[in-house]
Every structure is written in C-alpha cells, then in structure tokens.
Structure 1
C-alpha cells in the first residue's frame, strides 16, 4: 500500500534522501498510520553507494578518462513498531530511528523465499532493506544490528561533517556485525531486481549479466564465480531450505564499519566461506548442485575496504586447484595507489595484482600410471601473475615477465625415494571444466620436465629392479586431478651396458601393468620402450658360432630385465611367436635359431625369472649340466659389483629337431643350449666380457652323406686369453656310398676331438677335425702311397654356414697307385654345410711309364690319361686330358725333353639366370734343351672354346617328329 514519496535535502551536511510512505499519511506535522491493523513502513532511498572503477596492472598508466560504473540506489526499510502509530513530520523526526522499539530495520528472512521471483525485496508482503554494495550486489544486515546517525548537522572548527548513518549493534559495545547477500541487480539500475525461479537457477542466481558494463570496469565482484561466492551467503541458504538437502550453513559477511552517506558508503567488510571439497565430498547437496548444472562455489575469501563509495582495497580469493590435484586459490587484490601522471599531477588508480596460493602443499596419488605416490610443492605463493590472466577458465600460470611460473616439487616414489624438480602448472577454477585441452596447449617443454637423472622407482612392489635414473618425464592429464606419466626418458643400465652408449631410452607404461600391477605377467613387465626398441645381437664371435641370439628388446620387466615384448607379456609361446621374436638369430652359423626353438606350453612362473640373489654359480652350473630346469626367456640383468657394473645374460631355451632344406636333419631331441654372458664395465672405463656357450647332445646329418654326433660343444671366451673351444664325445659316421670309410675310422682314436686332435681357433672361426695318413701299402708289383683321409668341421664366427669337408687326399697332394710299369693317382673331396651340399671335386689319372739307362745315355717315355670333375655353386666342370712325353740325357752334358698335352673341357654355367654350356679344347707342346750351362725352353699352345647360347635351337626344334619316330623304330625289336 504505497503512499506519498518526497525528497529530503539538507545542504549543510549534504543530506539527500527519498522517503516513500507505506500505510502512512501526512497529518499536519505528523505522519500517521493509515490502517492501524496493517504494518507501516518508511522506505528511505539513498543515492548510489558505490562506484566501480577500472583497474590497471602494475606499472601501467591509467587511461583518461577512467572508465567507471555507478551502482543503483540503495533502500532502507524502517517499520513502525507495534503501538507506534505516528512520527513527527520533519527532517529530525524522520531521521529519529530510536530508541529501540520505535522503528525497526526490516531484514531478509531466512525461512522462506520472496513473494515474487521478480522482486527479491518483498517477503510475506513486507519490503526489506536492500543495499547495493558493491555494484550489482544486494545486501542487508542481520537482526542484531541497527542504524545510528545524527539527526542534525554537526559542525566543529568551522567544518560540518557529511551526514552518514552507521550500522551498530542493537545493544552492547561495538562489534563485528553480520551482513547477508540475497540478490543481484540485473541490467541498468532502472531495471527491476530479480531473483530466479527454480528453472532459472543457473542462469540468474549464479551467472551475472555484465554485458552492459564495459570490460575494463568489471571488477572481481562482478564476475560470475565471485558473484556466486558472495551471493551464497543468503542464496545458498534459500536453496538448502527449499530442497532440504545437505547440512552446510553458509557464513555471512562480517563488517567492522558500515556507513551509508550521500557520497557513497564507507565500508570495511569481509567474508570467509568454507565448503566441501568437491573432489572428495559425495554429500547429497553437492550431487544436487551438479545435477542442476550449478557450478561449484568459487570464492573462499572476500575483503573490501571503501571510503565514500570509492574502493580502497578489494581482495577476492577464488578456490580452485592445480592440474596436479593440489588445492589452490587465486587471489586478486585491487588497491588504490597514489602516483603522479606525466604532468606531475597526483593520481590514485586501482592497481590490480593476482597471484596463486597453494593451499594443499602435498597431494597423494593412488594409480600406477604415475611413479610418485605424492607430490609436495615447497613454494606455495607465486609472484604476481601476468596481467592478461583470465581466471574464469583454466590457464597456465604465467608471471608478469611472460614466463611460466615453475613450482618446486618434491616427488616421493613407492620406495620412499624423493626427487626434486620444477613444474609449471595449470590453474583450474572451481567452477571451470577440465583443463584439457588447455593443458595440451603450448610447447611440450611445459609438460616435459627435466629430472637430472635422479633415480625414481617407476613401479610399485618391484624393489631395486624397477628404479632407473630419469632424465626427463612428460606428464599427461587424462582426467581431472589424475596426473599421469605419459612418457619418460630413462637410463636403463642393461641397455647401456649392452650397447656401450649412455643413451636415454624413452619409455611408457604398459596398460596391463596400470590395470593389474606387476602380477599381470610372470616377468613383471611394466615399461615399454618406444620406437624400434634396442637390438640384442650377441654375435657368433662372442659365443663361438653356437648361437647368435638376435632379438629386439622393447619391454622392461622387474624380474627378467629388458625383454622382447612377446616374451615379457605372454605366459606361453607358440613356435610362431618365438620365430617372430628371434627372426634374425642363428645357430651353428646359418641355421635359423627361430626354427629350432620349441614351443613353451607350460605357463611361465617366477622360477622362469630367478632373482639376482638366485643367480648363483651353483645355479649356473646346474643349468649347464642338465636338461632341466630351463630358462625359456633370456635373463638380462645389470648389477653393481665392487669393480663396476656387470651385465649378465643367461638363457637356456627348449629346442626341437628340424629338417633343413638341402642338408638333412639337425637332431636336437635330446639337446640343450646354455648361453652365459657377462660384461663388466669397470670404474676406470675398462670393458671385459666373459662368454660361455654350450650345446650338448646334438647331431648333424649332412645330406645323408655323413653324420656328426656331439656329446658337447663348448666355447669359452675370457679377457686376455685365447678363446677355448672344446668338443667332447664326437662321432663322425659316413653313410651311403661312403660307408667304406667307416672301416678306416677303426684306425683312429675313439675320441678324435680329444687331446692331440686338430683344433684351430682363428679370427674367422673354429676348425676341428682330423687327417689320417694311411701308410704305404706295397704288395708285389702293387704300390699305394700318399693316401690321406681327412674330415674337418668348420664353425665360423660370422654368419657363414657351418660346414663339413671330407677328402681322400687333396688336389695339391694326390694319392699314387702303381702296378708294374703302369701307374696313376687322384683325389676326392666332398664339402657339405648347413645350407646343403657345397662342392664335390675329384680327379683320376692312369697311364704307363718306361725308362732306359745305357750308361752313356739314358731316357724314358710316359703316356698318361685322366679325368677331372668339379661341381660347386650350381656349376659343373668336366675335363678329359692326355699328356705324353719323353726325355734323353747324354753323359749329363746334353739333355732334351718334350711334353705334349691335350685336354677337352666341358663346363656348364649359370649366368644371369641362363644356363650356358661351354666346350673348350687346350693343346700344347713344351720343348726343353740344355747344353752344359745353356738351357732353353719353348712352349707352343693352342686353345679353342665353343660356347652355346640361350637362343640355340633345342633338340626338339632340330628334329622333326616323323624323323624321330623313324629313328626309334630302326632300333625296335
């Protein structure tokens, strides 16, 4: 029931008020209650109490003119107490608001919402006090306060103070009083106030329309998150009571000085709000806010000092967190600083400073995708932030210099070890979304931090085997407060000792380890090497040609060291999986190791990965001396020893027999292979390697021609000592057409590779074998001499194949056979290797020789004929020849000799995939004359070749079918 409205103006003390009467009428010199059964109110409207000014950064020059925004008018609602039906109609009478019980200030009730959502200043039909301070925010005092002021101007020493009314306790000494924020003024001051409906909750209560205020003027209390924090002092209470959820009771604003004047308010007030941490709290109220889409409350602290409507000091602390999960707050301070402009005139602008305070210095983590169980930040307050910081969205914390601020962080790993490093951070306001993709913006150096090769345990429950020097670590952020290690550059001692280079390896976590821990695989695999991995290639020069284990190491495990991925993560292995891992490995020079590795059908357990303490000399001897137990997965470990660092490689795989193309069979049914390599890198930079390779109980069948059976073949390489190669229990048996040689073996020592056997170690490889010279056999006119039976096994150090050469004499030293005046000789050699038959070579020669000695003269004649054949590399050569000659010597003074040689060769070659036949004839005469001290030899030779062509007509093309039939019928019957 609004009534008259009039203005009260008193120039002496600048009093300006607009008074509105509700249920009051002017009755002469009195204001009387119109309806004694209804409440009566004085609505005192004051001029704007706050001026919102633009602020500047430190060192900036304030603009001219300075942008500013004036708040709307404020209103005090004074209610006549029961029994008071009239007041004096004068300036003093209207300003007389006491004694207590005469006029009461109407405040906002807590127990029910306003009558009209469009008018938050009316509750249960009664208007309430609504003071707009700071701009756009509507506040009122609690019931334990009242207004006090002078009713008449006060003058002293010729000066009259400005009229003001001050908020004081209802009774008792001065104390801090409580204020409540209950609404927001939207739009221009002329527009009505509004409080949201339930459906408009997010749009109105928690978001402030500041579009009509120029951006330079928008202060911290005008921004959405800050508005929420301050306005919650009453609005949250309404929400809580309206939906009856949660037990949180918002804290009010506290003021130690609150004065209203015609020139603006002079205020000292503060607010401190403590509410649940949304990262951990599951209270129904927090869930309700999330369901409604309401952003989490942001402001934790608010401190405001103003004089006559002008801000002197404003401090707003907004809660949030760092992307690492540390609870933090951004503080913005706007403080009036006096200075001079370019003309020397004094200016006093609001200078803005922002900084971050880490409120939770240490955060603990529980996932396996980060090696640190906790991160502790030591420097909890940053220097001033960059002026262009937008604290309403996630942002990288940058300083005035434009550089990222680097927090000093102490990380504690699962073993309790601590490392120190620096880390830039993203600040995430409480009401903002996840920092991604902001976190991914900018250079990778922001996310990759140097750790200076500090040792970090990269897996839990793994002991020392999971600790490595870390050069740098790149952090990922897949989820809010879920910091992870995206990758790391580490020094892996085993790889360093293997390659001889101190190069960092980039590693990432295996997802299986992140999900299930080290127990997801028997090896305890937890890290994967990025890229192509590290090649493992213990060449044949290190293990004597027995086996060259070549594989790619790309997985780091806690029990097996650095392993191929397939061996580190699987429990059983098929032959195809093993073949893929060891595709480049070799056994006995050229046999693919992948072909002879047997499948592992029994799931691996801890026994397949003995610990460092279990790798004793006794265990190594037991592994080498029996088929079981086996180590199906190579063990690669690095340990500290008194003299330096030792790299240990131990492997005992299961083997299987295989048929090899062109060779026959490699019998490994009862065989086992043990490789034991140790490399010691001394503290002085010396490198010494000791390697022992043993292959037991195996046999090689060379194309059905010969079979070599070995009880043991061992290669040992020690520093400063000639490699030691020994073979024990070797039996070489010839088969097929050469089984007659086995009778000759009876003349040989039983252990032909024992003491006194031929064992030769050269830089090219190992040769082991024998050569038996058969004694001259002479029976009557039969004479056999210079017959040598030899067999040599060659195991190269490189990638050449293992080969066996059998020979009856050699081309340069053939055997000789004579019967009376007739004689001849020859040789035969067969060489087979792991790739098949390599070469076959032989020659046979027979003829006659007659000599005559008459004393004065002597001489003789001979006639010899023979054939030579050779097959190698797919080419065959056959040569038939005749040679004859004679000599004559007279008293030793004159000697004459002549020799005639005639040969016909047939050779079949393969050139560029084409087979070509060559027939070559060679003839020559050699005449030699010697008279005393004079000698002369003359040789006449002739050679003629007939070479076919791939384009020569074939037999089919040269002979007609009818002619061929006639030819065949002529011989029929």
Structure 2
C-alpha cells in the first residue's frame, strides 16, 4: 500500500496518527498479490502432460502452472478524507474512495490488474463518466468461529436501469497491450499468446464487460465477456483459477476465401486420468460459416478460377490440435504482426484436408487440399484481409500445398456462351493461390498441368504440359483466342511418324501456347498484322517435310498453322482432330506446281476408330533437279487414306512419266508405258508405302538370237520417317535379270536407277555372259555351265565393283536321283574401305527321292588388299611378296617330302 496527497493532521487518544487528504489528487494505492494462475491445459483425449513421483514414490499426473504478477488499484480520496493507518481504518477509507479511471499505459501509481495472466486491465463504469466503488467488509465476518475470506468486490456506483443486482456492470479496458505479447510459460495455457494479443488489441479500443470482479489475497474472481466484430472472449475464473475460457476468432480460409470461425474452449473438469482431480482440458474446433462461395462478377478474378460455386462440403472440424499461430513481419516496414495465420491440423499432426467441390460447366470437380486460417484483423495501419505483403507471404507458405492433383478431368477453362474445342482441356493438376479481392481472398489458378489427348491419340505422346492463363485472356476474356501459355515449350513432331500424319507430310512445330481454335501453336509464328499471313520459316523447322521436301520452302500464303484439337465431351472417351486444309504450295527444287497446288490433311481419331486423309494436288517432281532434269513425274493428285481396321492405301491420279535430258531416248518407251493406268502393287509396312509398277515386254527373237525376261519397272517409295520420296527406274532387276542367248552362249543383266530431289541416290548395273552345254539321253540328262560377269553399284558416294565366275553343273538319272554342284568366286573392290575382297562359295545338292540334302561351303570374306578392318586375310599378301614367299616355304616344309619316283 502507498499513500500520496495526505498529511498528518493529529493523533488519536491511543496515539495512532490521523492522516487527512488536503489536495484534490490524494490517492491510496492498494497492491494485491498475484490474482491469476496460468495453469497447463491439454486436449481431452491426451494423457497428462507430465508424470512425476510423489513423496511416497508413486507416480502422479502433473499439470504445470505459472503465477501472474501483482495487481494494484488506485483509489482517489476526496479532500478532507481522514485515514487512520490500521486495517479497519484503511478499509474504511477505501469504502469512501473511488477507483481512478484507467490510464494507458499505466504508471507505477495507476490501476493495473493482471487478470488473466499477462493481460493488464483497468476497469470503469460501462456507461462511462460514472464512479466505480469497492464493496468490502471493514471488519471480519465471523460465523460459528469461522471468519470468511476478505475480498474487494468492484461494482459500478450507478448501474444503468434493469441491470441485475449481482452484475458488477463494469467495463474492462486493456491498458498495456504489449504485455500480452509475452511468450507463453513453456506449456499450453487456456489464453495463449495469440488470443491474449488479440484480446488486448480489441479491448484497448472497445472494452469488454465484466459482470463480476473480485480481488483477494488468494486470487481474483472474474466473469467477463467481450464481443467484437471478429473476435469473442468469455472468461470464468474463481480465486485466480480458470473455470471456463472460450475464444472465438473469425477469419477466412486461404486461398479459397470461405469465412470460418476458430473456437478454443478450456474447461475445468474432474478428469479420470488425473485421479478425478479438477484439471483444465481444451477443445479446438474450426467451423466453416460460409459453406458456398458464389463466383465473382465477370472479370479477371472470375476468369482466373474457371468454376462456378465453390463449396467446402464438411463444415465442422472438432478433432484439431491447438493452433500453432505464426507471426508475420512486413518486409517493407519490418513491423511484426502477431498471430497472422495458422494451418489447421488434426491431432496426429497432419494438416486438415478440406473437401472441396467446384461447380464446372457440366460436372463437379472434387478434391481435397490443406488451407490456412487467416483471422480477420483490422487495426490502425494493418488489415489482414487487404494487406498485399501478407498475401504474398501466404502464397509462399501455402506453396507446398498449392498443387492439387486431379484424375484427368475435362474442364471448360473459358465458360463462354460459344464453346470452342480448345476451351476444354484434360486437367491433371491445378495450382491454387489466393488473390486479394474486396475484403477477402478469391482463388486463382496460377498454373495447370494438362495432357493433350490430341497428341496422345495422334502421336502416342502423353507428356504432361504445364500451362498458365495468358494475361491478355484474363484481362479481356473470351474475345481472345490465345488462352494458355506453356511454361515449357512443347515440340510436336511427326518426323519419322508420317503414318500418323497422312503419310505424305511430316509436320514439326515447336509450340509455346494453346489457342482456343487451333490448339498448340507457336507465338513466334502468328499471322502478320499487316498481311494476315504466317511466315513458314518461323513456324516450321528444317526437318518438317512434305514428300521429303522442307515444308517451310513449299508452303505459301499461309494463314493458319495446323489445327490440333482435343474433342472432350461429357461421358465419352477423348477424341482428337488434326486439320490443315487448303494449304497453297509453291515450287521448291524438284517440286513443281502444275496449277493451284494444294495440301489437304485431316486426321480424326476417336473411340469409334481413326480416319486419315492426306491429298496433294497438281504437282510434278522433276528429278534429280530442274536444272539437270532426267525424269518428270506429274500427278493430278496423290492421296493417302487410312481407316481403322484396314491397311493404309495410296491412290494416284498419274503419274505421267516424261524422260528428259540424257534419258530422252527412252521417251518412246515411256509413251508406250502409261503407268497411270496400271494398277500398282502396293506394299504397306511400318516403314512406309512402296507402290510398284511393272510392265513386262515381249521376248525378242531373231534366228539364234533370243532376248527374254524383259521388263520395265518403276517404284515410288513414300517413307513414313520423313525421308524424301524416291523413284526407282529399272530395266529388269537383280532378282529377275533379262536373258540373252546366242546358240550355246548366253548371259543377261539388269539396270536400276534410284533418284530423289537430292539427285542420284543409287545406280546398280550388272552384265553376265558365258556358255552352257546340256545333253539328254532319256534315261539320264545333265548340263554344265560357266558364266562370268561384272556388277557395278553406286550408293551415295560408295562404289562397289564386283567381278565373279560361276561354274557348275548337274546330272539327273531317271528322274529319281539328281546331283548338282556350283562354285561361285567373287572379287570385289569397296571404295568405302579401299579394300579388295574375295569370296568363294561351293554348293552341293543331292536328291535321292526319299532323301535330300544341301551342303554349302563358304570361305567368308577375305581381304586381299587394302582395308583397315579385322577381316580374315589371304595367306599370301600381294603387297608383300617377299614375306609371302617366306611363309609359303615354311608351309611346305611342314609336310613330309615326296619321293623322287612319285607315288606308286
């Protein structure tokens, strides 16, 4: 106790001094011992926080506690008030005095009640401007020899009419908010730092209400309630010990923005796990008070999250652990805002996975994701739901939970009245962040992972593609055709897989955006604003081809890139379409338009099957080059078609063959051979399509001169791997050479020529001549032959020149027994290895009617000269005759000498 403004004015007969207030600011400061005990609390399902041995050694459950600091009340004494420094004299003076109105922050001589722990209050009349008085006994209250505990009951001197008699009608004003920010005592207490800080901030502006406030040497008794716009506090304490503490914090759930309330309730109960001792147990509940959020009006916020209503389907979450509130430091001002957010978690420390339903255009999209609870705080200089710095901080904190996996759901990302094929995408994940909107948050999609069924169906490419909305689309809406930017460019290449793109054309596009009408596109190859045309050189790389020719050199007046669209319809499997029609072509190298040359490509793949149609019209191929022409193939159309369940087909209107240059001598033969009217032999393989035309010619006979097996062959090869179209012209072939006979002498040969737009690719020619003698004695017949020949082959820059000798014969007896033998010796020069190689093969065949067999002896390849490989070499090396002679002599010496007389 301390006094100020009083002077000694006399003494009583017993000698005690009498003090009198002789100023208007005389006061008596009464200091109380700690009025509150901050006791440890735990969840109702949790075991006791500690187990310690008792004095007897038996284990007992323990809840820890911390004492508050002392409390003090300053009483104003009116002028003339007398005080005798005895217990009853001081208590009498207190009953005449009036507590002094609160001061913030309080001085050492001002009223300051620490009740509850680390929360400094002062009290005043609820109506304001009226006095507060202390109701306390001056003398002990004794009954049956038992004296009651002295206490000071603080009440409003003039409560407003209708106030219950037991209602103290007081207002509690927080006068030292910084004290509430002190750290907790190292264990959980009912009113933790986050709630104390919020309580002190709210009660410093608008005080809470107390219906009971009593102070004593054993602790304070408090019944208080505080109701603010976004925070509520209820507190019941008796003699310094909490009985019931409840706080309700209103806020929003980031990033979705739903309103919610977080409730902490601590009650003293007789706990069975504590031996039925009265301990504090807590319950933590989060309740979603705004189950459904409707979309904002049409605008950037609505476009950034292309869903309708967003609903959190589970509203109450009672099984939470205590919130782990996180402070936020503004990086610009370095000001720390306490208890800015927390992540709701269950008792097993796992974040709550909130079930969410988003209404899409024709379906509901459901997923779960952790959310952050952000209290709705409005203080001078800081509003939690409109602060951009806090928004950025929350986005960074929530990043680990922002990616939401989805099971490949088709979602309309535009929600326009007129839907385009490119509005709907197969979404496999979304990245959700919150953005400030009005007084709260609205979700937005900062990234999506989509898969393009068109590419999966057309190319077998199921690579996920990370995309994000384009800024122009978000600001201007459905008037924009470009919808999404790709985070990483995606190459779409049919090079080597032209069977999937119509056989004739191999598009290759490096895409970095998704168009609503065209699908994947390259932003660097958009139509020129002035001409409306696309530069093919910026759209196609060098390996994109048509009939093996570079697309960027063939395409002209291009207004749109190939359209690659995914067709996603509710309840149906994904389908895909690639369309590129009316594409004008210009001359480039051997490719020569003969009119309005165009390309039309349509590929459609669905669950019902696939249809591919590719047509090139009105063109000619002048090979090898227009400057040195040898052959012209003119087509009215060249069409590739493929329907699921059947083989690919190629149809031609043409070609009209014209021999040019050095081949003009064959023009008459070409005019006689109208290949366009001959049904081709089409061979379809995974490598491509080969169309073969063959026209046999009649044998030529003139006396002993006979020329047979004549044929003119033409082969058009259309590879599916992007290689150029090639044409092979042949007079006979290796498999079926022409035959020439003059009496017993004969021979044959063939000539094949392969050309493409690069020039001559392969030239192969062979001539063979020799003799054959056959006899027939009815019961037996036989023949012997000997042929020699030369074959020349030019493949690219590699030249192979081969000479060979075939000697053989056969004999047949009564048609039952036959024996044949043939020896083939070849000598070849290979330009690639600069080697002269030889090979010998002997084949013996025996047929005894019921048994037959064939024996082949092959020497393998022997390098006779040159070369750098490890092939077998001949015993004698012609390049080193001296060394070869020595080895030959050593070889001879290994055998027993033959006697001079010879063998007998």
- 2:430/2:445 contact within 8 Å kept: yes
Counterpart CA distance in 2 for 1:48 and 1:355 is 35
Change in 2 beyond 3 A, CA 1:417/1:355: same
Counterpart CA distance in 2 for 1:906 and 1:665 is 41
Match of 2:656 in 1: 731
Deviates more, 1:901-910 or 1:635-644: 901-910
Which residues of 2 match residues 132-147 of structure 1 at below 5 A?
132-136=114-118, 137-142=120-125, 143-144=129-130, 146-147=132-133
Match of 1:909 in 2: 830
Is the aligned partner of 1:273 residue 2:261?
Answer: no
The Cα RMSD (Å) is: 5.3
Deviates more, 1:44-53 or 1:505-514: 505-514
Counterpart CA distance in 2 for 1:902 and 1:262 is 127
Counterpart CA distance in 2 for 1:254 and 1:729 is 100
Which residues of 2 match residues 315-334 of structure 1 at below 5 A?
315-318=246-249, 321-324=252-255, 325-334=257-266
Change in 2 beyond 3 A, CA 1:680/1:776: same
Q: C-alpha offsets along residues 311-356 of structure 1, whole Å, 9 cap, x if unaligned?
A: 21222344554332445454333322223676x4x52222233333
Deviation at 1:465, TM superposition (A): 3.9
Counterpart CA distance in 2 for 1:551 and 1:259 is 82
Q: Which of 166, 170, 173 in structure 1 is aligned with 2:158?
A: 170
Deviation at 1:735, TM superposition (A): 1.2
- 2:585/2:598 contact within 8 Å kept: yes
Counterpart CA distance in 2 for 1:904 and 1:401 is 86
Tell me the secondary structure at the aligned position of residue 676 of structure 2.
Answer: coil
- 1:447/1:474 contact within 8 Å kept: yes
Which residues of 2 match residues 717-728 of structure 1 at below 5 A?
717-721=642-646, 723-728=648-653
Counterpart CA distance in 2 for 1:566 and 1:500 is 26
- 1:710/1:728 contact within 8 Å kept: yes
Match of 2:579 in 1: 650
Match of 1:831 in 2: 754
Change in 2 beyond 3 A, CA 1:568/1:72: farther
Count of paired positions: 759
Match of 2:866 in 1: 949
Q: TM-score, normalization: structure 1? A: 0.65
- 1:843/1:869 contact within 8 Å kept: yes
- 2:527/2:535 contact within 8 Å kept: no
Q: Which of 423, 428, 451 in structure 2 is aligned with 1:466?
A: 423
Match of 1:377 in 2: 312
Q: Which of 419, 422, 435 in structure 1 is aligned with 2:365?
A: 419
Deviation at 1:721, TM superposition (A): 5.0
Which residues of 2 match residues 177-576 of structure 1 at below 5 A?
177-184=169-176, 205-206=177-178, 208=180, 210=182, 214-216=185-187, 220=191, 223=193, 226-227=196-197, 229-234=199-204, 250-274=205-229, 300-318=231-249, 321-324=252-255, 325-339=257-271, 344=275, 346-358=276-288, 360-361=290-291, 366=301, 370-372=305-307, 375-387=310-322, 389-390=324-325, 392=339, 394-413=341-360, 415=361, 418-428=364-374, 434=390, 446-459=401-414, 461=416, 465-468=422-425, 470-475=427-432, 484-485=444-445, 487-488=447-448, 490=450, 492-498=452-458, 505=464, 507-509=466-468, 522=481, 524-526=482-484, 528=486, 539-541=497-499, 545-549=503-507, 556-562=514-520, 574-576=535-537
Give the unaligned 5+ runs of structure 1: 1-17, 122-126, 185-204, 235-249, 276-299, 609-631, 683-687, 850-862, 884-900, 923-943, 955-973
Match of 1:22 in 2: 5
Counterpart CA distance in 1 for 2:749 and 2:196 is 109
Deviation at 1:638, TM superposition (A): 2.0
Change in 2 beyond 3 A, CA 1:425/1:48: same
- 1:476/1:483 contact within 8 Å kept: yes
Match of 1:933 in 2: none
Match of 1:74 in 2: 72
Give the unaligned 5+ runs of structure 2: 51-61, 327-338, 773-784, 808-821, 842-860, 869-876, 880-904
Change in 2 beyond 3 A, CA 1:693/1:86: same
Change in 2 beyond 3 A, CA 1:49/1:361: farther
Match of 2:718 in 1: 795
Deviation at 1:536, TM superposition (A): 5.3
Deviation at 1:771, TM superposition (A): 2.1
- 2:744/2:771 contact within 8 Å kept: yes
Change in 2 beyond 3 A, CA 1:152/1:835: same
Deviation at 1:57, TM superposition (A): 0.8
- 1:257/1:269 contact within 8 Å kept: yes
- 1:333/1:353 contact within 8 Å kept: yes
Is the aligned partner of 1:43 residue 2:1?
Answer: no
- 2:467/2:485 contact within 8 Å kept: yes
Match of 1:760 in 2: 682
Q: C-alpha offsets along residues 261-287 of structure 1, whole Å, 9 cap, x if unaligned?
A: 343322211112237xxxxxxxxxxxx
Is the aligned partner of 1:773 residue 2:697?
Answer: yes
Match of 2:622 in 1: 701
Q: C-alpha offsets along residues 747-776 of structure 1, whole Å, 9 cap, x if unaligned?
A: 345xx413x444535446241545263786
Q: C-alpha offsets along residues 491-526 of structure 1, whole Å, 9 cap, x if unaligned?
A: 64434533679x68353325556765677974x241
Counterpart CA distance in 2 for 1:217 and 1:878 is 97
Change in 2 beyond 3 A, CA 1:95/1:696: same
- 1:140/1:180 contact within 8 Å kept: yes
Tell me the secondary structure at the aligned position of residue 740 of structure 1.
Answer: helix
- 1:806/1:829 contact within 8 Å kept: yes
Change in 2 beyond 3 A, CA 1:231/1:569: farther
Q: C-alpha offsets along residues 501-557 of structure 1, whole Å, 9 cap, x if unaligned?
A: 9x68353325556765677974x2416386977765794445664224456777544
- 1:426/1:439 contact within 8 Å kept: no
Change in 2 beyond 3 A, CA 1:465/1:881: closer
Change in 2 beyond 3 A, CA 1:494/1:762: closer
Deviates more, 1:707-716 or 1:798-807: 798-807
Is the aligned partner of 1:877 residue 2:875?
Answer: no
Is the aligned partner of 1:61 residue 2:16?
Answer: no
Deviation at 1:468, TM superposition (A): 4.1
Match of 2:885 in 1: none
Match of 2:882 in 1: none
Tell me the secondary structure at the aligned position of residue 367 of structure 2.
Answer: strand
Q: C-alpha offsets along residues 749-806 of structure 1, whole Å, 9 cap, x if unaligned?
A: 5xx413x44453544624154526378698x999988765444434355666533233
Counterpart CA distance in 1 for 2:445 and 2:320 is 27
Change in 2 beyond 3 A, CA 1:156/1:678: same
Counterpart CA distance in 1 for 2:804 and 2:47 is 108
Change in 2 beyond 3 A, CA 1:390/1:715: closer
Change in 2 beyond 3 A, CA 1:48/1:795: same
Is the aligned partner of 1:676 residue 2:572?
Answer: no
Counterpart CA distance in 2 for 1:66 and 1:801 is 86
- 2:566/2:576 contact within 8 Å kept: yes
Deviation at 1:847, TM superposition (A): 11
Q: TM-score, normalization: structure 2? A: 0.69
Tell me the secondary structure at the aligned position of residue 742 of structure 1.
Answer: helix
Match of 1:927 in 2: none
Match of 1:286 in 2: none
- 2:446/2:469 contact within 8 Å kept: no
Change in 2 beyond 3 A, CA 1:707/1:539: same
Q: C-alpha offsets along residues 850-892 of structure 1, whole Å, 9 cap, x if unaligned?
A: xxxxxxxxxxxxx999985523322243769999xxxxxxxxx
Match of 2:331 in 1: none
- 2:448/2:468 contact within 8 Å kept: no
Counterpart CA distance in 1 for 2:570 and 2:410 is 18
Tell me the secondary structure at the aligned position of residue 396 of structure 1.
Answer: coil
Counterpart CA distance in 2 for 1:319 and 1:385 is 16
- 1:543/1:715 contact within 8 Å kept: no
